[in-house]
Amino acid sequence: MRLTDPQRTMLQGDGGRAAAKAMEILVALGEVFGAERLLPVKSVQVAGVSYGNLGDEGLAYLEELAEDGRAVVPATLNPAGMDLRRPEPMGLDPHFVERQRRVITAYGRLGIAAACTCTPYLAGNTAAPGETLAWSESSAVTYANSVLGARTNREGGPSALAAALTGFTPAYGLHLDGPRQPTCRFRVDARLDGARDWGLLGMLLGQASDGEVALLEVSPDAPAPDLESLKALCAALPTYGGAPLFHLAGLTPEADRYSAPSPKDTHSITEQAFRRVRDREAEAAAPPDLVCLGCPHATLSELQAAAEQLRGGQVQVDTWICTSRPIKALADELGISDTIEASGALLLCDTCFVVAPLKGRYHRLVTNSAKGLYYASGHGGMDVTLLRAAECLRVALTGGLP
């Protein structure tokens, strides 16, 4: 890989030990993937924030880097294992809380903002078409590539952190035109009604496209997906095996830029396929002990809709609604947060039910997130029921089966 003189001196240690280590990671990664050079990045989003995932080893690594490392481009974090300002209602082990605080302190010393969200594009870390990013969180990576038309690979925590400390990322994968070319086309012959259905589409497309970049065609008569629907699609697609990039005909910025996939690579996703998965995932054997919304982190409209439904009621089941801190600040201003919390539901920032240490504490989850379904049922070992957001809250208010 060709390095510029400043990049070479950084590798040799002129920018400090952390920057040299970061440059080593990027050069090694670039060589594995055949990159010829490094690209300057506009912004970074770093995963690997929950102490539950990092453990003491990860914490020690961050604290060592923080001795002389400093981010040189704007960088934000993925969700942590707790609400950083208000962990108490989450009922966490004090040891976890103390270690999670140390993780955030180390990132702070590294100059990485404790904006802990998987929707950085709604919280001040967004991107313009064609910009080069180094983002980690798969749903945000897919949103950045597909909806915003920016360019990022799905970085691991260490490579994103290395990009933050150096300002560079290796030029391979989705930074190049070739891998952004769609190689299959999927026609959606089904009625998509809201974010839950777009999440199901991400699930079906991810399973069927097998890591290939898809050109997606939805009936021109169908309503265009809103922000919440695109967010749900971007979260489910890579979770279920799809590439962190799709093109949606007539909507996303690069949909017309590449040649069309060959007719033999055209498939359809039918109403029947949707019905099968909807029916299967909506089946519940017993009442839930946890209801969660906000995966990915809830938008202001989602919080407003939740507040309208919860107004004057009391939840009968532990209910978490997760969002980013800037969206929560708006919700506070509008009285939405108070209405939600008056019902007994928790409105949490900086975290989510997948990265918080909940294993063994809850057993039956109701959520509207296809991505949440995957992680809570797999890694989390919970029975999960997938419903629309309004249905989830109805369950929360009645405590009964859907």
352 touching ligand F3S, by CB under 6 A: yes
- CA distances (Å), 233 to each of 123, 223, 238, in order? 19, 15, 9
Binding track, positions 142-181, relative to ligand F3S; x by CB under 6 A: ----------------------------------------
User: What amino acid occupies position 389?
Assistant: A
Which residues are within 8 A (CB) of 216 and not within 5 positions of it... i.e. 6 or more apart? 185, 186, 188, 205, 246, 247, 248, 249
Residues 204 and 200: their CA atoms lie apart, in Å, by 6
For 115, the 3-state DSSP assignment is: strand
CB nearer to ligand F3S: pick between 23 and 82: 82
Q: What share of the chain is helix, strand, coil (3-state, %, to 5)?
A: 45, 20, 40
Contact 371, 389 (CB under 8 A): no
- Residue 361 CB, shortest distance to ligand F3S, in Å, is 17
Q: Which of 81, 74, 286 is nearest to 160 (CA)?
A: 74
- Residue 162 CB, shortest distance to ligand F3S, in Å, is 21
CB nearer to ligand F3S: pick between 118 and 269: 118
DSSP state string for 222-291: SPPP-HHHHHHHHHHHHHTT--S-EEETTTSTTTTTSPPPPGGGEEEEEHHHHHHHHHHHH--SS--SEE
Of 25-33, 54-62, 152-160, 290-298, which segment contacts ligand F3S by CB under 6 A?
Answer: 290-298
CB nearer to ligand F3S: pick between 29 and 75: 75
Binding track, positions 17-56, relative to ligand F3S; x by CB under 6 A: ----------------------------------------
User: What amino acid occupies position 358?
Assistant: L
CB nearer to ligand F3S: pick between 48 and 296: 296
Q: Which of 76, 83, 139, 141 is nearest to 110 (CA)?
A: 76
Of 20-28, 57-65, 83-91, 352-360, which segment contacts ligand F3S by CB under 6 A?
Answer: 352-360
Selected binder of ligand F3S within 355, 366, 382, 396 (CB under 6 A): 355
106 touching ligand F3S, by CB under 6 A: no
DSSP state string for 345-373: -EEEESB-TTTSS-TTT--EEEES-HHHH
Ramachandran category for residue 48: left, alpha or beta (phi over 0 → left; psi -120 to 50 → alpha): left
295 touching ligand F3S, by CB under 6 A: yes
CB nearer to ligand F3S: pick between 184 and 365: 365
79 touching ligand F3S, by CB under 6 A: yes
* Half-sphere exposure in the Cβ direction for 387 (13 Å, CA): 21
Selected binder of ligand F3S within 199, 238, 296, 380 (CB under 6 A): 296
- Residue 351 CB, shortest distance to ligand F3S, in Å, is 8
Binding track, positions 224-243, relative to ligand F3S; x by CB under 6 A: -----------x--------
371 touching ligand F3S, by CB under 6 A: yes
Selected binder of ligand F3S within 188, 354, 373, 387 (CB under 6 A): 354
Site residues (vs ligand F3S, CB under 6 A): 78-79, 118, 139, 235, 295-297, 322, 352, 354-355, 371-372, 375
